[in-house]
Amino acid sequence: MLYRKIGSTGVDTSVLGFGCMRLPVMGERATGSDLRPGSIDVPRATEMLHRAIDGGVTYVDTAWFYHSEKFGDAGESEPFVGQALAGGWRERVSLATKLPQQLIRERGEMDRYLEQQLERLQTDHIDFYLVHGVTGEAWDRMAGLGVLEFLDKARADGRIKFPAFSFHGQAEEFPRIVDAYDWAFAQIQYNYMDVDYQAGRAGLRYAADKGVGVVVMEPLKGGKLATGLPPQALEVFDRATVKRSPAEWALRYVWNEPGVSLALSGMSTMEQVEDNLRIAALGEADSLAPQDVALYDEVAVAMRARMKADCTACSYCQPCPAGVEIPRVLASLNTAAMWGDANQWNAGYTNVKGGASLCTECGQCEDICPQGLPIRDLMKEAAELFGR
């Protein structure tokens, strides 16, 4: 395992972080974008987390919402992490969770959520506490409610060690939030398909130049850059002298950036844990040859030309009031568009119980989609394509 410092904190952490949003669930061998909210398969997930820690992972990430049945509810991820880290595992990692700013309406609620999270995680402190899902508007609202005072107080009394934030806003909003406080890091979505998305590469380097760490989420774009590449993209990577799997290409791209402190991977199987541990041992900054770096732009062009929906399967849109399994529908729509194989994508869609034709166009999903997708239009297209 390789290690890097998180910004100016002086804390060394593994370049691979264990993300607890896509843990295996009971009743299905869920992986990547196929994962739905549900009861965590505790024995399998615990074995995976312990293997990752034994393999050198020192950073574990969770949140209030992860593995909840609907957005806003307290999910199963935090209690799972608290249980899995009992018995000496907690002392071996830096633990990160997030203030659910989307639910905060007054200053006192910040303390109440933090106290509940400490209890759920079975710990007396949280190493990295993030203001979750910040946009420019959300930041202005939270600043007005006194979040800076809250963070100062929580640091002073030892409930948290380092404050941070995760970002889902527009590029122009990012610098002022970075400059607003003494942050340990900014967590941003970044991969070779998202260099200009949200904070993007410009934001990454802005934060790094300020001494603020950068934690990358969605380095595999919800698993799509590991398993969903079309033939045109694979042909580009196949031209490289050094042969790598799609997952290795994607992760190495993120780690090649010196300003990145670590990359979070939401692993759903033990096979993914082992593969990520192997790749992480190669994740040195500036380690890719220039001719290899040039291939990413070609692949991105090939991908963007075919994708229908830039969904990361975060499941914030779930459950749909009408019963539409939106992430699964969009995954099938993308597969159909990228691969152009009717037999393949029809076979996948038969496993979608809540088809696109159930959509009532209420728009609730679009209001909370971090990717800003036109989901209602995409559901119409999917219903016409798949026939239900």
Tell me what percent of the residues of the chain surpass a pLDDT of 70.
Answer: 95
pTM of the predicted model as reported, rounded to 2 decimal places: 0.83
pLDDT for position 207: 98
Average pLDDT over residues 267-285: 97
Same domain, 223 and 261: yes
Same domain, 223 and 352: no
d(CA 26, CA 39): 6
In this structure, what token pair is assigned to residue 244? 């790598």
**Residue 159 lies in domain:** 3-303
pLDDT at 347 over 80: no
Long-range contacts of 36-40 (CB under 8 A, 24+ apart): 36/315, 36/318, 36/325, 36/327, 36/328, 37/67, 37/68, 37/69, 37/70, 37/75, 37/315, 37/318, 37/319, 38/67, 38/69, 39/76, 40/67, 40/76, 40/77, 40/80
Q: Identify any residues that bridge with 216 across adjacent strands, giving them in sequence order.
A: 188, 263
Same domain, 275 and 161: yes
pLDDT for position 308: 85
d(CA 135, CA 139): 6
Q: Identify any residues that bridge with 188 across adjacent strands, giving them in sequence order.
A: 216
d(CA 105, CA 103): 6
pLDDT for position 36: 44
pLDDT at 352 over 90: no
What DSSP state is assigned to residue 195?
T
CATH number where 227 lies: 3.20.20.100
Same domain, 222 and 368: no
d(CA 108, CA 175): 28
Q: What share of the chain is helix, strand, coil (3-state, %, to 5)?
A: 45, 15, 40
Give the chain's domain count: 2
pLDDT at 227 over 90: no
Q: How confident is the model at residue 302 (pLDDT cuts 50, 70, 90)?
A: confident
Same domain, 44 and 177: yes
In contact, 82 and 121? CB cutoff 8 Å? yes
d(CA 65, CA 214): 22
Q: How confident is the model at residue 142 (pLDDT cuts 50, 70, 90)?
A: very high
